[in-house]
Amino acid sequence: MKNNKLIISDVTLRDGNHAVSHSLNVEVIKKYCLEAEKTNIKIIEVGHGNGLGASSLSIGRSVIKDELALKTARKHLKKTKLSIHSIPGFSRIDNLKMAIDCGVDIFRLGTNSTEVDTLYRQIEFCKKNKVEVWGVLMMAHLVYNKEKDYLKQVKFLVDQGVKTIIIMDSAGVFLPPDIIEIFSNIKKKFNVQLGFHGHNNFGCAIWNSIAAYKSGANIIDASIKGFGAGAGNTQIDILITILEKLNIKTNIDINNLYSLAKNFPSLLKKNKIHYKNAFSEPKNIMSANFGLFSGFASKVDYYSKKFKLNDIEAFKSIGEKKLVAGQEDLIFNILLNLRNKK
Amino acid sequence: MPILHSAIIIGTGKIGIDLYIKCKKSKIFNKIYIFNKNKNSLGAKFCIKKKFLYSPMGITGINDRLKECKFIFDATSAEANIGILKELKNKIDNKYFINLTPSKNGKFIVPYTHDKKIPNIINLITCGGQTSTPVITEFKKILGNKLKYVELVSSISSKSAGKATRDNIDEYIQTTEMAIQKLANVKNIKVIINLNPSEPPVNMMNSLFFETKNKIILSDLKKMQKAINLINKKIKSYIPQYNAKIFKSLETNIIRVTIRVIGQGDYLPKYAGNLDIITSSAVYLAKIINEK
């Protein structure tokens, strides 16, 4: 089978921030970057869980400023590329300027898949500044339908001159056949580099990633031990092992990768950050079933505990309100209502 | 009984037509003229069908009617607004030019909080700004220097976000932050906007967070509740389904306010409270100018 070279993009220090309420600090970023570089990972993404400029009361505050996080990573990454996630509405052009000054290599501009045109200005800005710009279709299940709406969104990005597009399964709801269909259809129509970002709510992140690769993607987002929002991301240590078994080359040093995985919990513990292994609890399964953003999990957990609610019921009530990524502010109100009804 | 003045509406998009209907309903205008440049547009066809005082003559037509009108409402686009204002600038000294486009022209005005002399070129800010500034202004008065940080998160339905909003999310945030800083005298403000694609479309919803240096004291909280009641009462007079609610958060130094805005359903759909608050504010503003 002909395929292009596979690139692993490590999202531990960005998506993982969701799992620890955006508390990854300078020390963690530094140590992680130093160790991760030894594995030959090509790209490391750093930042608040919702990306640039998203540190806020509604989503959660980062313990460090975006600028410090990026400068720290930049300083400790020699050959690894540094990337950021940016969602217009949270991030502004000013934030992008700052990121350029910090030496970020790859600008991943993302939005909920139904609103891709909101990326227009940031794409223009990146193009003008000659930085590498990728388009990210977040909550891609929103445009996975009979009409194949995802093709329209991809076309918009391609027409804007975007050459790399990441399909993000933010809700962790896709199954391998969905992935094969989406990637093959995009590949058939567009000459564009594709990537996949998985979440593991249905236990499919690994095989979705491999299916994406086999259907034409050559960038896979993954994180150490699956550390990420909700049920977690594609587990990088498993992914690489399986890829090797399948004779798919990545150039990643597997031994260094295993030691990175092994040491990761203690790195967090040393920094007094509460570490929990990524796992899909019933509430995460429920969350995916409703097509909810994985990043909601920590907020829902927090308020369910405070309001003494059954967390599965809590996810259900949020699912009924059809919130999308970014609407974390309303979780409080919905769950408060649910409590008051009792 | 105040004298009835005439008005010009520029633009036959959804905002222009909704505004026309609201102007008519308000009964505070003598004649209402509506202009655009393309008689084949959907909006123009609607105007003709409904027998509005419509003309496709654009700026020439406007110039002919200018003398008899006191109000000019610009419901075009940010780009068009710049050209229109350039053309009309020297001819509107004793008139009111109300800018409903997202361009930066004109002085930021929220009818609720405005008590000084009303300038003749008026900017109605953004939906988030128009909705939240009254609450932020009143809370700032109550909390003074104790107020450390304010955050506004607005969610609007995807269907109600036009091309102008989508292309200019950055400007939306900048303009909203700038206007709130200016009008409410709050330094530290963060504005976030979300588009929700759900069907049926969601109503416009806003969350406000007020963070203070120390624990919020009961007497301040009582004042804030009172302020909210007053704001609701006053704003409901021009947009009946404006509903602000105050919530104690789980943190002792953070107060939350949610504001749901449901439109009047004149021409714009009810869920587009984000657009309705702009057209409603425009008409209300004309009303208070008339009463002065």
Q: What CATH number is associated with residue B186?
A: 3.30.360.10
C-alpha distances (whole Å) from A25 to each of A56, A69, B13 are 16, 8, 49
Say yes or no: B90 and B131 in one domain: no
Among partner residues A121, A142, A327, which is closest to B170 by beta-carbon distance? Answer: A121
Say yes or no: B183 and B251 in one domain: yes
Say yes or no: B48 and B164 in one domain: no
Q: Per the domain annotation, does B112 fall within a domain?
A: no
Say yes or no: B244 and B158 in one domain: yes
C-alpha distances (whole Å) from B62 to each of B33, B73, B133, B159 are 9, 11, 33, 31
Q: Per the domain annotation, does B228 fall within a domain?
A: yes
Say yes or no: B151 and B97 in one domain: no
Say yes or no: B35 and B93 in one domain: yes
Say yes or no: B76 and B141 in one domain: no
pLDDT at B2: 64
End-to-end CA distance of chain A: 58
Domains in chain A: ranges and CATH: 7-270 (3.20.20.70), 282-341 (1.10.8.60)
A93 to chain B: nearest residue by CA? B170
Do B276 and B261 meet the contact criterion of CB atoms below 8 Å apart? yes
Inter-chain contact A56–B153, Cβ cutoff 8 Å?
A: yes
* Cβ-based neighbours of B229, under 8 Å, separated by 6 or more: none
Q: Per the domain annotation, does B280 fall within a domain?
A: no
Which residue in A263, A280, A295, A255 sits closest to A87, CA to CA?
A295
pLDDT at A184: 98
ipTM for the complex shown: 0.94
Which residue in A333, A175, A100, A315 sits closest to B244, CA to CA?
A333
Inter-chain contact A89–B169, Cβ cutoff 8 Å?
A: yes
Say yes or no: B93 and B189 in one domain: no
Domain total in chain B: 2
Q: pLDDT (tens digit, 9 = 90+) per residue, A47-99?
A: 999 999 999 999 999 999 999 999 999 999 999 999 999 999 999 999 999 99
The residues pairing with B54 across neighbouring beta strands, listed in sequence order, are: B34
Say yes or no: B144 and B255 in one domain: yes
B243 touches chain A (CB under 8 A): no
Residue A1 above 50 pLDDT?
Answer: no
Q: Per the domain annotation, does B45 fall within a domain?
A: yes
Residue A237 above 50 pLDDT?
Answer: yes
How many other C-beta atoms can be found within 10 angstroms of the C-beta atom of residue A5? Answer: 11
Say yes or no: B192 and B92 in one domain: no
Say yes or no: B93 and B48 in one domain: yes
Q: Per the domain annotation, does B70 fall within a domain?
A: yes
The full DSSP string for B8-47 is: EEE--SHHHHHHHHHHHHHT-EEEEEEE-S-TTSHHHHHH
pLDDT at B163: 80
B220 touches chain A (CB under 8 A): no
Q: Per the domain annotation, does B9 fall within a domain?
A: yes
- How far is residue A270's CA from residue A254's CA, in Å, rounded to a whole number? 24
**Highest mean pLDDT (candidates A283-292, B111-120, B158-167):** A283-292
Known catalytic residues of B? 127
Q: How many CB pairs under 8 A join A and B?
A: 82
Inter-chain contact A92–B173, Cβ cutoff 8 Å?
A: yes
Tell me what the mean pLDDT of segment B11-39 comes to: 96
| Burial of A247 (C-beta count, 10 Å sphere; 0-12/13-18/19+) | exposed
How many other C-beta atoms can be found within 10 angstroms of the C-beta atom of residue B63? Answer: 13
Residue B106 above 80 pLDDT?
Answer: yes
User: What CATH number does the domain containing B56 carry?
Assistant: 3.40.50.720
**Angle between the B169-184 and A120-128 helix axes, to the nearest 10 degrees?**
100
- How far is residue A43's CA from residue A37's CA, in Å, rounded to a whole number? 9
Do B18 and B266 meet the contact criterion of CB atoms below 8 Å apart? yes
Look up the domain containing B33 and give its range.
5-105
> Is residue A113 helix, strand or coil?
helix
Say yes or no: B252 and B148 in one domain: yes
- How far is residue B57's CA from residue B60's CA, in Å, rounded to a whole number? 6
Cβ-based contacts of A89 with chain B (< 8 Å)? 169, 173, 192-195
